[in-house]
Amino acid sequence: MASAAFSVAKPSLQASGKGFTDFSGLRSSSAFLPFTKKTSDDFVAVVALQTSALGNGSGGYRKCAAEAKLKVAINGFGRIGRNFLRCWHGRKDSPLDVIAINDTGGVKQASHLLKYDSILGIFEADVKPVGDNSISVDGKVIKVVSSRNPLDLPWKDMEVDLVIEGTGVFVDREGAGKHITAGAKKVLITAPGKGDIPTYVVGVNADAYDPDEPIISNASCTTNCLAPFVKVLDQKFGIIKGTMTTTHSYTGDQRLLDASHRDLRRARAAALNIVPTSTGAAKAVALVLPTLKGKLNGIALRVPTPNVSVVDLVVQVSKKTFAEEVNAGFRESAEKELKGILSVCDEPLVSVDFRCSDVSSTVDSSLTMVMGDDMVKVIAWYDNEWGYSQRVVDLADIVANQWK
C-alpha cells in the first residue's frame, strides 16, 4: 500500500448501489500512517478543520441546501448522535437530510455540545440555537424536540423516514417500534439489537440488506471492528475457534466516581481503574457471519482513556500459515473488497494516533503472531465513536439507496 500523508482532505464519500465507494476523512485508509506532528493541539485543530465547512474553501461541504432523499431524525444526542451528525455533515452529496434531533437537554445544550467536544475538538461549522426549538448548522436548520417516550415524538407530522436510534435504550422490536408507531417509516439502531432484529455490518453482510425490514441494527462498535478482519481470516485460513479481548475506552455507561450500577465492576470509577466486563461482540459476529456461530467468545477491559479501543483476537485456524501470510491476506482485502473498512498499519503507533480514523478496524501488522502454524493472534485498532459513526452513516446511505 502507498503511504498516507497526514493531510486535511475533504470527505468525499459517494453513495452507490451498495451504499458507498471510497472516501477520505481525517486520514486515508492505508498501510502507513506517518505523523509529523502529534500534539493534542494539532490533533484538535485538524479534527476541527476536518469536520467544518471551513475545511474546504471551494465549498465541498454541504451548506444549507437540502439535497437529501431521506428525512432523518436522531433519537438521543449523546456521543454517537453527535458523532453521526458531524460525520453526515462532512459527506458530499449525501442521500440523507437530518431534520430533527430528540434530546432531553434542550436546544442550548444540544447546540453547545455539538460545537464544543472534548474529544473531537471545536466544530468550526457555524452552530447556534435558532429560537427555542431548533439549531442551525451552517445554515441548515434542525428541529430539536424533547421527549423520553418515542410515542410522543412528532415523527408523523414531520414526515420522518428514518430514525437513528442512538439512546441505547430502545433496542428491541417493542422499543424501536415505538418510533414507527409515532410515524417514522424505519429505524436504524446504533447498538446491538435484541431478539430477531436483523444486524448488518458494512463490508461484511450489508450487501444482503433487506429493504422490507423496518428495524435494523448496526451492531456494536467492537463487532464492526472485529467482523471485517475475522471474515478475512475465516475465508483465507478457516477459523476453528477463538477468543477476543477488547481493551476498550470507558463510556458514558460507566461511573466517574464509585456509584451504583447494575454491573458491580462498572460501578467503580472509570478513570481510575481497568474494569473487566462482558461484551457480546465476539458472539455477535455470528449474526453477520453465520458460519462462525459458537466459534468465538470474548471479554472487555474498560480502561482510563476516553476514546479509541483495540481488539486482541486469538484463533485456531485449519490452514497452516505464518504471520507474513496473514498480514498479506489483510492487505489484499484492505485494497479490494474491504477498502475504506479495513486498513493495515506498519508503523509503531499508539491509541491516540487512531482517533478519528474513518475505517472500522486497522490491523497492527507488527503485532500479528502465529504459534505452531495454526494459532493466530491479531491486534486491530478502532475509533469506537468516529469510525463506528461513519458506518452508521454508510448503513443509512444503503437504506436510502434501496428505499422502498
What is the tens place of the pLDDT at every residue in 124-154? 899 999 999 999 999 999 999 999 999 999 9
* 96 and 148 together in one domain: yes
Give residue 54's pLDDT: 36
* 252 and 182 together in one domain: no
For range 324-341, the mean pLDDT: 98
* 364 and 235 together in one domain: yes
State whether the Cα torsion 262-263-266-268 is positive or negative: positive
Structure confidence at residue 92 as a pLDDT band (50, 70, 90): confident
Do the domain assignments include residue 394?
no
pLDDT over 70 percentage in the chain: 83
Structure confidence at residue 12 as a pLDDT band (50, 70, 90): very low
Do the domain assignments include residue 207?
no
For range 109-127, the mean pLDDT: 97
* 270 and 226 together in one domain: yes
* 233 and 308 together in one domain: yes
**Residue 118, domain CATH:** 3.40.50.720
Last residue of one domain, picked from the residues 170, 191, 212:
191
Q: Name the residue range of residue 232's domain.
A: 221-384
Cα gap 19→7, rounded to integer Å: 25
* 174 and 270 together in one domain: no
Helix, strand, coil share of the chain (percent; to 5): 30, 25, 45
Give residue 2's pLDDT: 33
* 355 and 237 together in one domain: yes
* 112 and 243 together in one domain: no
Do the domain assignments include residue 343?
yes
The pTM of the full predicted model, rounded to 2 decimals, is 0.85
Q: Which residue has the cell 460545537?
A: 115
Q: What is the mean pLDDT of the chain?
A: 87
Do the domain assignments include residue 21?
no
Cα gap 87→85, rounded to integer Å: 5
* 144 and 279 together in one domain: no
Last residue of one domain, picked from the residues 191, 206, 237:
191
Last residue of one domain, picked from the residues 191, 208, 243:
191
Quickly count: other Cβ atoms within 10 Å of residue 374's Cβ.
16
pLDDT over 90 percentage in the chain: 82
Do the domain assignments include residue 212?
no
Do the domain assignments include residue 139?
yes
For range 365-384, the mean pLDDT: 99
Cα gap 53→130, rounded to integer Å: 19
Cα gap 301→399, rounded to integer Å: 34
Better pLDDT: 2 or 352: 352
- Active site residues per annotation: 221
Do the domain assignments include residue 4?
no
Give residue 292's pLDDT: 98
* 289 and 367 together in one domain: yes
Closest by Cα among 61, 222, 84, 224 to 163: 84
Per the structure, the count of domains in the chain is: 2
- Give the full edge-to-edge strand order of the sheet including 134-137: 127-130, 134-137, 140-145, 96-102, 70-75, 162-165, 186-189, 215-217
**Residue 343, domain CATH:** 3.30.360.10
For the chain, give me the number of helices (H) and strands (E)?
Answer: 9, 18
Residues 228-251: pLDDT tens digits?
999 999 999 999 999 999 999 999
* 185 and 296 together in one domain: no
Residues 178-198: pLDDT tens digits?
999 999 999 999 999 999 999
Contact 354, 384 (CB under 8 A): no
Do the domain assignments include residue 88?
yes
* 254 and 333 together in one domain: yes
